[in-house]
Chains A and B, each alone.
Chain A
Amino acid sequence: MIRAWLMQHGFVFFLTLKRLIATPVTSLLSVIVMGIALSLPTGVYVLMENLSAISGQTMSSPQMSLFLKLDIKKEDIESVKQRMEEDSQILSIQFISKDAALHQLQQSNGLADISASLERNPLPDAFIVHTLENTPENLEQLRVAMQSWPEIEHVQFDSAWAERLNALLKLGRFIVLMLTTLLSVAIIAIMFNTIRLQILTKRDEIEISKLIGATDSFIRRPFLYFGAIQGLTGGAAAWLIMTLAIHALNEELGTLAQLYDFDLQLQQLSPSDSISLLLFSAWLGWLGARISVASHLWQIEPR
């Protein structure tokens, strides 16, 4: 019984493939339309993934500046240093003495004259701190904690840009969701119409099958397979479009990156994202076919 059922499904699967191949131009056009429609949200998604990966990289060891009080004693500097070295949240520290800071300032163009005219060094001793934390909330906590130390004049950490980037990523994800919803509806509509036309041309077969004892699920099956397979190939087309587009973009980025002396490569879709794309597109095709079959098959009742 299960064997017969499997044979039945295998038979319908190959029948559907045959039907798709029998009308190559139509099938190809549908696949291209679906592929392009799906590649739009996929493309934005890839960009967002890359952006968040880049932000993760730069955020992986965020930097804070600790300015000490101007009249601080040498041993207090040592105690601050020790305290930070014991803190598990802190990755590394770098001490910049007020003299070193002034020296750096004198090296800068245009500022040498000003610094030379200074009667005494107005700059404080400072630490540059790299932390292990990388979420804006934890960084803010750390900043507040260090600010309360008596030796510290001011802790500077610009978390605003991280928040902005996060908001940007959130917006991007929202755009992905919106595009996906809209284009999914479009794909379902395309599949609905394709299956409607198929049902019309297969009217005789459906009617005769019903007359000789076919169940509704038997009659539905080839159309559902058609929708799912067409959806799957549409997803594969979208994947191919994305892969080629990222490859082409990376070549262009390579030239740009060389000129500006930085390293930037877009990452391809991950295997799990690729499988999700294929499954989702197959499901969309199936759903379009299912809705179409539900709204058209009942109209064909044998007389």
Chain B
Amino acid sequence: MIIFKNVSKRYSDGYVALNNIDFTVESGEMVFLTGHSGAGKSTLLKLIAAIERPTSGTITLSGQNIAQLKLGAIPYLRRKIGFIFQDHKLLFDRNVFDNVLLPLQISNFDSKTVAGRVRAALDKVGLLKKEKAMPIALSGGERQRLCIARAVVHRPSILIADEPTGNLDIEYAQDIMSMFTSFNQVGVTVLIATHDASLLKDVEHRILSLNQGKLAV
């Protein structure tokens, strides 16, 4: 469960990215976050993973106040979350398999089970046959799926995606959307930020709409 209470974020240059945000995402819910670029979608997602800290207000994630989290506790918070970054943040010096392996290495998984987990994640996104490929050799859609595999390999309870279908064809985009739906169906809380209106046309999930740092009702 994610709870935002009176959350504001003002950058040091005075720009107000988020203004008094209040909302709740229930466990196991799938929620879309929409708004034009610059509306504060990315900032809001980054607050959940403590990549940015709020100027005021409280953010609660499974009972923990993230706004007050100590620096040393942040890594353990991030391990509960699968984050799909807008700019992918893939490592180009290692192959597909090793990119997906990274979260497991970070959280000290037993090496006996890691290879199986990595392959399971790659299988879910349809990249199993490309595990030895380098990210540079992948298409845009494949890179996006690699990001998803990396985000889910450690089986987080929350999945956050920032513009996961940006620059993708409509077929690819729908493909990726159905992946998120299937993760949600096994109980993962999913939060997706997108400005792509066509993607939201016939979704039955809740949509939060951001406009100039405020939530539209």
- Please list the residues of chain A having a beta carbon within 8 angstroms of any beta carbon in chain B: 1, 3-5, 7-8, 11, 204-205, 207-215, 218, 302-303
Contacts and interface: CB of A to CB of B under 8 A. Distances in A.
Contacts of A11: 105, 111
A205 B150 CA distance: 14
Interface in B106-127: 106-111
Given A208-B91, A212-B103, 16 more contacts: A3-B110, A4-B109, A204-B92, A205-B93, A207-B89, A209-B102, A211-B51, A212-B78, A212-B79, A212-B83, A212-B106, A213-B79, A213-B106, A214-B75, A214-B106, A218-B106
B51 A204 contact: no
A4 to B, nearest CB: 5
11 contacts: A7-B110, A7-B111, A8-B105, A204-B92, A207-B89, A209-B106, A211-B51, A212-B103, A213-B78, A214-B75, A303-B51
Interface of A is mostly: helix
Interface string B81-99: 0010100010111000000
A211 B89 contact: yes
Q: Which of B49, B76, B105 has the most CB of A within 10 A?
A: B105
Contacts of A218: 75, 106
Contact of A213 (B76, B91, B93, B109): B76
Contacts of B77: 213
Q: Which of A213, A214, A215, A302 has the most CB of B within 10 A?
A: A213
A215 to B, nearest CB: 5
Contacts of A214: 75, 106
Contacts of B51: 211, 302-303
Contacts of A207: 89
Q: Which of A207, A210, A212 has the most CB of B within 10 A?
A: A212
A8 B93 CA distance: 20
Contacts of B89: 204, 207-208, 211
Contacts of B107: 213
B24 to A, nearest CB: 24
A211 to B, nearest CB: 6
Contacts of A209: 102, 106
A269 B161 CA distance: 62
B108 A5 contact: yes
Nearest to B150: A212
Nearest to A205: B91
The 6 closest A-B pairs by CB, nearest first: A213-B78, A213-B79, A214-B106, A215-B75, A213-B75, A4-B108
A229 B196 CA distance: 51
Contact of A8 (B75, B79, B103, B108): B108
Contacts of A213: 75-79, 103, 106-107
A219 B51 CA distance: 17
A3 B105 CA distance: 13
A211 B78 contact: yes
